Amino acid sequence: MKKAIFYLVLCLSLSAQAQQKFFTISKELLQDKIKGGWAGQTIGVTFGGPMEFRYNGTIINEYQPIPWYDGYLRKTMIENPGLYDDLYMDLTFVDVLEKEGLDAPVESHAKAYANAGYALWHANQAGRYNILHQIMPPRSGHWLHNPHADCIDYQIECDFAGLMSPGMPNTASKISDRIGHIMNYGDGWYGGVFLGACYTLAFTSNNIEYIINEALKTIPKQSEYYKCIADVIKYYKLYPNDWKKTWYALQERWSDDVGCPDGVYTPFNIDAKLNSAYVVLGLLYGKGDFTKTIEITTRCGQDADCNPSSACGILGTMLGYSKIPAYWKLGLKDAEDIDFKYTTISLNDVYGIGMKHALQNIERNGGKVSGTQVSILLQKPEVVRFEQSFENTYPVDKIFVYQSLKDEYSFDFEGTGVVIKGVAEKKDQTTKDLVLNTEIYIDGKLMETVEMPTEFRTRRHELFWNYELPKGKHKVVVKLLNPSVQHDLRVNDIIVYNDTPGTEANQKIYRFGQPKKFKP
Q: Mean pLDDT throughout 240-253? A: 98
Q: Is 16 within a domain?
A: no
Q: Give one DSSP letter per residue of 446-499, joined into a string.
A: EEEEEEEESSGGG--SSSEEES-PPSEEEEEEEEESS--TTEEEEEEEEEEEES
CA distance 293 to 295: 6
Q: Is the pLDDT of residue 41 over 50?
A: yes
Confidence of residue 19 (pLDDT cuts 50, 70, 90): low
| 460 plus 355 within the same structural domain | no
Burial of 391 (0-12, 13-18, 19+ CB in 10 A): exposed
CA distance 166 to 30: 9
Q: Is the pLDDT of residue 337 over 90?
A: yes
Q: How far apart are the first and last CA of the chain?
A: 84
Q: Poorest-confidence range of 3-7, 119-123, 134-138?
A: 3-7
Q: Mean pLDDT throughout 223-249? A: 98
Q: How far is CA 499 from CA 22, 143, 291, 392, 396, in A?
A: 50, 15, 45, 5, 9
Domain termination residue (choose one: 346, 377, 408): 377
Query: Is the previous residue joined to 138 through a cis bond, with omega within 30 degrees of 0?
Result: yes
| 368 plus 478 within the same structural domain | no
Confidence of residue 515 (pLDDT cuts 50, 70, 90): very low
Confidence of residue 338 (pLDDT cuts 50, 70, 90): very high
Domain termination residue (choose one: 311, 344, 377): 377
Convert the pLDDT of each residue in 292-330 to its tens digit.
999 999 999 999 999 999 999 999 999 999 999 999 999
Q: Poorest-confidence range of 5-14, 171-180, 307-316?
A: 5-14
For residues 480 and 422, the answer to whether their CB atoms sit within 8 Å is no
Q: Is 8 within a domain?
A: no
CATH classification of the domain holding 431? 2.60.120
Q: Mean pLDDT throughout 262-277? A: 97
| 176 plus 302 within the same structural domain | yes
Confidence of residue 509 (pLDDT cuts 50, 70, 90): very low
Half-sphere exposure of 480 (CA within 13 A, CB side): 23
Q: Mean pLDDT throughout 169-185? A: 98
| 495 plus 362 within the same structural domain | no
Phi first, then psi, for residue 462 (nearest 5°) are -130, 150
| Residue 3 pLDDT | 55
| Residue 502 pLDDT | 81
| 37 plus 145 within the same structural domain | yes
CA distance 462 to 485: 22
Q: Mean pLDDT throughout 382-396? A: 97
Domain termination residue (choose one: 377, 404, 421): 377
Q: Is the pLDDT of residue 386 over 80?
A: yes
Q: Is the pLDDT of residue 517 over 70?
A: no
Q: Is 5 within a domain?
A: no
| 365 plus 412 within the same structural domain | no
22-26 and 373-377 strand pairing: antiparallel
| Residue 17 pLDDT | 45
Q: Is the pLDDT of residue 341 over 50?
A: yes
Q: Is the pLDDT of residue 504 over 60?
A: no
Overall domain count for the chain: 2
Domain with 471, as residue range(s), is: 394-518
Q: Is the pLDDT of residue 516 over 90?
A: no
Give the sheet arrangement for strand 464-466, strand by strand. Answer: 464-466, 417-426, 487-498, 394-404, 517-518
| Residue 245 pLDDT | 98
Confidence of residue 162 (pLDDT cuts 50, 70, 90): very high
Q: Is the pLDDT of residue 365 over 60?
A: yes
CATH classification of the domain holding 54? 1.10.4080.10
CA distance 400 to 359: 54
| 224 plus 116 within the same structural domain | yes
CA distance 148 to 183: 8
| Residue 20 pLDDT | 83
CA distance 284 to 247: 12
Q: Is 10 within a domain?
A: no
Q: Is the pLDDT of residue 10 over 50?
A: no
Q: Is 301 within a domain?
A: yes
| 449 plus 326 within the same structural domain | no
For residues 175 and 109, the answer to whether their CB atoms sit within 8 Å is no
Q: Is the pLDDT of residue 513 over 70?
A: no
Confidence of residue 33 (pLDDT cuts 50, 70, 90): very high
Per the prediction, the chain carries an average pLDDT of 93
Q: Is the pLDDT of residue 444 over 70?
A: yes
| 222 plus 303 within the same structural domain | yes
Q: Is 11 within a domain?
A: no
| 405 plus 362 within the same structural domain | no
Q: Mean pLDDT throughout 387-405? A: 96
Q: Is 385 within a domain?
A: no
| 367 plus 487 within the same structural domain | no
Q: Poorest-confidence range of 256-260, 360-364, 510-514?
A: 510-514
| 351 plus 421 within the same structural domain | no
Q: Is 289 within a domain?
A: yes
